[in-house]
Amino acid sequence: MSDKNFTTLKSTIDRVVVYLDGARIYRSGKAELKKGFQQVCIQGLTKNLHKDSVRVSGKGKGSLGAIDVETVYQEEVSHEALNALILEEDKLQKELLVLTQKLEFASLQNARLKALSDKFSLEFPQWLASGESQLTTLNEFIDFETKRNTDFLKQKQKLEEDIENLQKKLNTLQAKINEYRNQSRVEQTYTITIGVDVNTAGPFVFDMSYQTRGVTWNANYDVDLQPTKAILKGIAQVVNRTLEDWKNVELEISTAVFKPIRVIDPNPFYIDIYDPYARPAPAPKASRSMKKMKAGAAAFASVAEEARMDDYEKEEDLFEPVAEMKESAAGVQSYVIPGKWTIPSDGNTHPVTLTITELKTEKEFYWAATDALGVIAQDKLTNDDEVILGGNAKVYSEGEFIGETHITRVPPRDEFKLGAREELKLAAKKKLLKRVREKAGLVKGKRAISYEYELEIKNFRKEASQITLKDAIPYSRSERIKIKGFEASVVPVKDNLGIYTWELKLKPDGVTKITYKFEVEWEKDYEITPTLP
């Protein structure tokens, strides 16, 4: 082939559509072609390219001919800077160790303080009853606990961010080291050759696209719980391992997948009479789809949050653009991201904001008398008209970080709960008021113990609060044991296997009490297990 009929085209990546398991890359380039048959060559394309996915179009006075995709192998030699990279890795490892030790020390110190707080919580009622302490001491204790938790969460969040950022640097550095440690290797790339029949010499513009492996994205969320609403920020954590850097490209995030989704019919569910001499049937193997689901669930990983600009003085908050959401007839959601994006092929996660949504929310409280943690607060959110994909979520309360959770897939207009946390402005306790063992002879051939308990809930909040209370009494699985005479000062809304549920509306700065009693009776020649309190 004559060099006169061969043109090397320099192309750039203009647009990328990221799918859940790959991406479609859009390139363009411009070249001056002479009249006659010409071959235009695009070299150095990633080895992750799907050969059968290449599509080419163009503009110019001529017609497109055959399109060939050729595999090219080239030997490369390792970089001389390997020793410098190893020294840099050692330095980062030491910095990472220091940060990790700081986090461990802060967690240990917080655990010790919490143990002291728990001891105070147990002993304070006795001090108050004996007149050794006043209620103001409890208020001071609550303020101290709130500040301690807030300070610890801030310190923990900062250290975790620093550790995560440092780990990202290490990942990139170690990837380079692994490449350089190969003394020599053969690098594979693809070359696309386009045949063109040129009618009139002049400029020709070529547009091409292809699918590539080595790209994934996971949904992550920041949820800020506010008094009357919740702000849900949807973030796509994009990982580019295509071996091609995306520089100043138009970006679109899609929920589509390359692999086809199949409808799987269920297998028959056989049952039979138990035969103790029959050999047990082998356990069924996990289906392909189940393995994929488990692998997909394990793939979700925590990623670094966007850095705060606390020291930057500005008159107003920076505007954060939100993607335009499109939905296909097949139900695939895609998000067209405003502006231009640069995502290098470094294997690290790169956050891209998809949506910022305001959702309706209601605060709920819950307390189980069998749980030593205390009253739990959580928010019930109502989704809007879009599907919320499953993903990890960082949860904030009016801007203060309170913890992490995982959101499962939420359909439109469905409800979901998150933000479970200890509520320090509600205090609850269970107290044994009376325990009486019946004297021998009163019940012929029987033994009996009667109990009376009190549940006390204090609301230190300035508004009325709805709370769900649960407590459990013994539940007999034997005809020789009877649970009798349950009575409560407030009728429970539900009783299930001895677990009683109350729904209460607490008055502001008020105290609510529930008393209940019951009796356990059993045949005297038998012992109860486990032992009764």
Query: How confident is the prediction along the chain (533 residues), in pLDDT tens digits per residue?
Result: 455 678 899 999 999 999 988 999 999 999 999 999 989 999 999 999 999 999 999 899 989 888 999 988 876 545 556 677 788 888 888 888 888 888 888 888 888 787 777 777 777 677 666 666 666 766 777 777 788 788 888 888 888 889 988 888 888 888 877 776 665 556 788 999 999 999 999 999 999 999 999 999 999 999 998 888 999 999 999 999 999 999 999 999 998 887 665 555 666 665 454 555 555 444 444 433 333 333 333 332 232 233 233 333 444 555 566 788 887 777 788 899 999 999 999 889 999 999 899 999 888 899 998 877 789 888 889 999 888 888 999 988 888 888 888 898 999 899 998 888 888 889 999 999 999 987 655 557 788 999 999 999 999 988 888 899 999 999 988 888 999 999 999 999 999 888 999 999 999 989 999 999 999 999 888 888 888 88
In a domain, 145, yes or no: yes
In a domain, 174, yes or no: no
| Structural domain of 336 | 215-259+296-306+320-361+381-416
Q: Classify residue 16 as exposed, middle or buried by CB count within 10 Å of its CB (0-12, 13-18, 19+).
A: buried
d(Cα 11, Cα 72) in Å, to the nearest integer? 18
Tell me how long the chain is. Answer: 533
Task: Return the CATH number at 10.
Answer: 2.60.40
Q: For residue 267, give the DSSP letter.
A: P
Sign (positive/negative) of CA torsion 163, 347, 297, 224?
positive
Domain identity same for 237 and 354: yes
In a domain, 327, yes or no: yes
In a domain, 366, yes or no: no
Say how many C-beta atoms besides its own lie within 10 A of residue 225's C-beta.
Answer: 25
d(Cα 137, Cα 295) in Å, to the nearest integer? 51
Distance of CA 443 to the CA centre of its chain: 58
Say how many C-beta atoms besides its own lie within 10 A of residue 243's C-beta.
Answer: 17
Q: Which of 111, 141, 156 is the last residue of a domain?
A: 156
Domain identity same for 235 and 355: yes
Domain identity same for 208 and 223: no
Across 134-173, b (16+ Cβ under 10 Å) vs e yields eeeebeebeeebeeebeebbebebbbbbbbeebebebeeb
Q: Residue 290, SS3? A: helix
Number of domains present in the structure of the chain? 4
Instruction: Report phi then psi at 270, rounded to 5.
Output: -85, 140
Domain identity same for 333 and 397: yes
Token pair recorded at residue 45: 């394309």
